[in-house]
């Protein structure tokens, strides 16, 4: 029983430490860019080990926002708290930015020792 517990703990540690170690091929990068003609505004979050490419992202209130997550380094997933947005790397989701405010963006996939500090902000402006 003791050997089994040690094995399970060792496997858990290896998985936790390797979660941010991989690399994925990714498309060209970009950030929040306005969209013309009523289509959704693109918002790309780029994630590396324990940080996003920006500390703040800005979008306009009332627009449809197509947010995507690009894992540049490691494996990550995100949640934008208060907006019902949850993404895995390589995925996108569209939502309506209908309320001004500041929303916390957090990594939701345990990615190693700096995971707890992997945060950013989405600011919805008038």
CATH code (residue 96): 2.60.40.420
Is the CB of residue 47 less than 8 Å from the CB of residue 84? Answer: no
Who's near 89: CB < 8 A, 6+ residues apart? Answer: 24, 47, 69, 70, 71, 75, 76, 77
**Residue 35, in any domain of the structure:** no
Total number of domains in the chain = 1
d(CA 27, CA 13): 31
Whether pLDDT at 59 is above 90: yes
pTM exceeds cut of 0.75: no
Please return the burial class of 71, using the count of CB atoms within 10 Å of its CB with bins 0-12, 13-18 and 19+. buried
Look at residue 39 in the predicted model and tell me its pLDDT.
84
Whether pLDDT at 32 is above 60: no
The answer to which of 68-72, 111-115, 121-125 has the lowest mean pLDDT is 111-115
**Residue 14, in any domain of the structure:** no
Is the CB of residue 103 less than 8 Å from the CB of residue 122? Answer: yes
d(CA 35, CA 66): 10
Look at residue 45 in the predicted model and tell me its pLDDT.
96
In terms of residue numbers, what domain contains 49?
A: 41-124
**Residue 94, in any domain of the structure:** yes
Closest of 93, 55, 98, 101 to residue 77, by C-alpha: 93
What's the rounded mean pLDDT across residues 27-39?
44
**Residue 56, in any domain of the structure:** yes
Torsion of CA 117, 43, 84, 108, to 10 degrees: -30
């Amino acid at each position: 029983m003791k050997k089994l517990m040690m094995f399970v703990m060792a496997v858990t540690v290896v998985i936790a430490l390797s979660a941010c170690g991989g690399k994925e091929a990714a498309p060209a990068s970009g950030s929040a860019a306005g969209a013309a003609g009523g289509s959704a505004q693109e918002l790309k979050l780029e994630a590396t080990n324990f940080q996003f490419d920006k500390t703040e992202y800005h979008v306009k209130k009332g627009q449809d926002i197509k947010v995507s997550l690009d894992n540049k380094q490691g494996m990550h997933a995100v949640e934008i708290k208060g907006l019902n947005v949850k993404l895995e790397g390589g995925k996108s989701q569209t939502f309506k930015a209908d309320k001004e405010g500041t929303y916390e963006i957090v990594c939701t996939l345990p990615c190693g020792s700096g995971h707890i500090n992997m945060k950013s902000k989405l600011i919805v402006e008038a």
